[in-house]
């Protein structure tokens, strides 16, 4: 059974992020299922740290982008909005080039908060980063 409140249009999700951090670092939404959402991010000069590997902050940006959008898609956007409250990231393995894919899955979807777990993997399916995002669900005014 699907957790999504509204239908998902991957092209629209990417378009909504135009002129944001997500678009500047090349994040693109690529796939979804009944209870998960995925996006890719290139590992290149935009996302490197000075030693030529993926910057941990870029991984966190991918994780928060995915988890926040996942939360948004689970609520009635006319009444509620989800905002990041806390995020942790465990950087497991480095990557120098290519593409990473983040996949967000909910751990908890409540009326006032959500908790999402985001796995970021390289093209060989190695775990690069494991992140947990807590979202506050706010009533729109």
117 confidence band (pLDDT: 50, 70, 90): very high
Structure tokens at 36: 């998960």
Mean pLDDT calculated for residue range 18-38: 97
Q: Which CATH number fits domain 10-139: 3.40.50.460, 3.40.50.300, 3.90.850.10, 3.10.129.10?
A: 3.10.129.10
pLDDT at site 34: 97
pLDDT at site 6: 86
pTM of this structure: 0.96
User: Could you list the active site residues?
Assistant: 64
User: Phi, psi (5° rounding) for residue 60?
Assistant: -65, -40
For the chain, give every domain's residue range.
10-139
Mean pLDDT calculated for residue range 64-83: 97
CA dist., res. 124 & res. 23, Å (int): 24
Q: Can you give the three-state secondary structure of the chain, one letter per residue?
A: CCCCCCCCCHHHHHHHCCCCHHHHCCCEEEEEECCEEEEEEEECCCCECCCCCECHHHHHHHHHHHHHHHHHHCCCCCCEEEEEEEEEEEECCCCCCEEEEEEEEEEEECCCEEEEEEEEECCCCCEEEEEEEEEEEEECC
Express each pLDDT in 95-113 by its tens digit: 999 999 999 999 999 999 9
């Amino acid at each position: 059974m699907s957790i999504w409140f509204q239908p998902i249009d991957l092209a629209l999700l990417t378009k909504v992020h135009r002129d944001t951090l997500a678009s500047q670092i090349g994040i693109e939404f690529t796939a979804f299922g009944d209870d998960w959402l995925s996006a890719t991010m290139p590992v290149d000069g935009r996302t490197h740290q000075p030693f030529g590997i993926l910057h941990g902050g870029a991984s966190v940006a991918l994780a928060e982008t995915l988890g926040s959008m996942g939360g948004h898609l689970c609520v009635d956007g006319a009444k509620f909005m989800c905002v990041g409250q806390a995020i942790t990231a465990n950087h497991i393995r480095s990557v120098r080039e290519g593409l990473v894919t983040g996949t967000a899955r909910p751990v908890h979807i409540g009326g006032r908060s959500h908790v999402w777990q985001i796995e970021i993997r390289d093209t060989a399916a190695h775990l690069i980063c494991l992140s947990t995002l807590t979202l506050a669900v706010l009533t729109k005014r």
